[in-house]
Structures are given as structure tokens and as C-alpha cells.
Amino acid sequence: MSTVVITGGTRGIGLGMAQALLATGHRVAVCGTDTDRVAEIDSRLSDAVVTTADVTDRDQLRAFWDAATARFGPIDIWINNAGISHDRKPLWELPAGDARRVLETNLLGAVNGSAVALAGMAAQRHGHVWNMEGLGSDGRTVTGLATYGASKRAVTYLTKALAKEVPEGVSVGLLSPGMVVTDLLTHGYDDPAQLAKARKVFNILADHVETVAPWLAERAVTRTRNGAHVRWLTTGKVISRFATAPLRTRDLFAA
């Protein structure tokens, strides 16, 4: 069994992966920034390390690493999952503070997490770091999400570059969850009509956390070659879902 660390692991797909890993016997440590949420998840995941850590602060992530190793010993897998989005607005209308928070959480958070994990794994001579892709990672652009998309495009570049410089015995890769029904997916729609239109596409391409997270979790601990790229929503799956959409009814947002 592996020891797995997940940043942003107190909600959404990070929490889903943590639960799936615990259910299959792995040792898990997660962090989040909301102290009330951390306390709630700590009470639910009694066998895990659950703590508060801000990925934009490298010292806090070092403390997170130390807490996990103190409890479980060497870290086998580190997943830089923490991420946020912003309101869907043109760049010049997006408040500077919002843009900064997205860039610092999504990109600087991955940089900090990778730096901490790779240094620790170099010392223990083994381990794998996963970075989480998102909209924009493949270069696709979406109106109103320039900052978010740029942050995820940069994370993909970062990971591919790290694959060329990791120390012996250590590896990195990319996890691509596709469209998952979380707060992140539907965040920032001010126009109800625009959200309704987007939901039509989501109902074709998106999936619930409970579907995607166990699939990703299993591959996170088994496909740890350097440069690995694990994708849930492949091009073939997209084509198939659009082709079969008229033949089936999906409502992922039903109460």
C-alpha cells in the first residue's frame, strides 16, 4: 500500500480521491485552507492526516510534508490538486486580487508543492508527483476564463519540464479529470441563461466526483512512470458522448 498526500483534499475531487484511496487500504494525508472544513473532514477521515496548509506558502507545505512523514513514514505519491477559479469575466474586468489568487493557488501552489515533494523524495530516493490539469491545459481557450486557463496551461508546461530534471528514482506526471461536477465547474456564471446553456454541455461531458475520483485514485498509485499522462475524458470519449447524446438523458444537477 502507498502513502499518498493530496493538497486541496478536503473537498471536491481531492476529497473523493482521498476517500477512494482510504477505502482500498492506502495511507492518506490531505490539507485545505478552511479551518472549519478541515475540522469537519478530520472527523470524517479518522485514519488520515488532515491539516490546514496554504499551498501558496512553501513553509506550510513543508510542515504538511513533515506531518505526513511523521505519521506514515516515506511519501510515495504527492498530488498537487489544490485549485480555484474566478468569475467568468474579460481579463480587464477581473479584479486584480481575484486574478492573483487564482495564479498563486493554481500555479504557485503547484510550484511550491512540487518543490517540497521533489526535495523530500530525492532524499528518500523514490516517489512520484502528480499535477492536476484543468481547462486550458491543452491550449483550448474559453471566453472569460483567460486567467484560470493560463494557470492550468502553465501547470502542464511545468510538469513536462520537471520530467526532464527529476532526481533519480523520482518521477512526475499529469492527472486530467475532465469535467467533474464540483463548485469549480459551475463557478462564475452571472447569467442564468448562460449557465443553463453550459449545463447542456456538462450533462453530455461531465461526471460526478464519485465516478471519476476512484478511477483517478487507482491510476495515481499504479501508473507512476516519469512523464505519465492520465486522462479521464479522452478525445474518443468526447466524440462518443456527443454521438450518443440524443439517445440518452442525463441530468447531473438534479437534486
Q: What is the pLDDT of residues 74-104, one digit of tens each?
A: 999 999 999 999 999 999 999 999 999 999 9
Q: Does 38 score more than 80 pLDDT?
A: yes
Instruction: Flag whether pLDDT at 149 surpasses 90.
Output: yes
Average pLDDT, rounded, for the chain: 94
Least confident segment among 24-33, 133-142, 246-255: 246-255
| Residue carrying C-alpha cell 526532464 | 164
**Residue-level pLDDT at 229:** 98
What angle (nearest 5°) sits at the alpha carbon of residue 213, between those of residues 54 and 120? Answer: 45
Does residue 110 lie in a domain region? Answer: yes
pLDDT at 197: 79
Provide the domain count of the chain.
Answer: 1
Task: Output the pLDDT for position 60.
Answer: 98
What pLDDT digit, counting tens, does each position of 204-234 carry?
888 899 999 999 999 999 999 999 999 999 9
Q: What is the pLDDT of residues 162-202, one digit of tens each?
A: 999 999 999 999 999 998 988 777 777 777 777 777 788 88
Residue 193 in any domain: the answer is no
Kindly tell me the burial class for residue 99, based on how many C-beta atoms sit within 10 Å of its own C-beta (0-12, 13-18, 19 or more): middle
Residue 10 lies in a domain: yes
Q: How far apart are CA 250 and CA 204, in angstroms?
A: 7
**Domain span at 70:** 3-188+207-241
Is residue 247 a part of any domain in this protein? Answer: no
197 lies in some domain: no
Task: Output helix, strand, coil percentages for the chain, rounded to the nearest 5.
Answer: 50, 15, 35
User: What's residue 251's pLDDT?
Assistant: 85
- For position 163, which CATH number holds? 3.40.50.720
Q: 196 in a domain, yes or no?
A: no
Whether 255 is in a domain gets the answer no
Query: By C-alpha distance, which of 18, 8, 82 is closest to 220?
Result: 18
Q: How far is CA 133 from the centre of its chain?
A: 7
Q: Which residues are designated catalytic?
A: 148
Is the pLDDT reported for residue 254 higher than 90? no
pLDDT at 212: 97
Up-side HSE of residue 181: CA atoms within 13 Å toward CB?
Answer: 20
